[in-house]
Each structure stands twice: as C-alpha cells, then as structure tokens.
C-alpha cells in the first residue's frame, strides 16, 4: 500500500535523525571528556 511506504519512509527519517544526534552527542562527549 502507498500509505505503508510513506510511513516507512518517515519512520526511517526519524530513526536517522535520532541516530545522528546520538553520534553527535558521543563525539562531543568524548571531546569534552
């Protein structure tokens, strides 16, 4: 279904943003620590 494709797409975008933030926080944490 088309709706499922849209849902999967937005879901991946959100997951990508969350993982990117975690990576950034880890890098900054290592620099500060």
Say what the alpha-carbon torsion angle 28, 17, 19, 15 is, to the nearest 10 degrees. 170
Round to whole Å and give the CA distance between 3 and 19: 24
Confidence tier at 2 by pLDDT (50, 70, 90): confident
> In the chain, what percentage of residues exceed pLDDT 90?
79
Confidence tier at 33 by pLDDT (50, 70, 90): confident
Greatest alpha-carbon span in the chain: 48
């Amino acid at each position: 279904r088309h709706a499922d494709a849209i849902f999967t797409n937005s879901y991946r975008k959100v997951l990508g943003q969350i993982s990117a933030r975690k990576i950034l926080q880890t890098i900054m944490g290592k620099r500060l620590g």
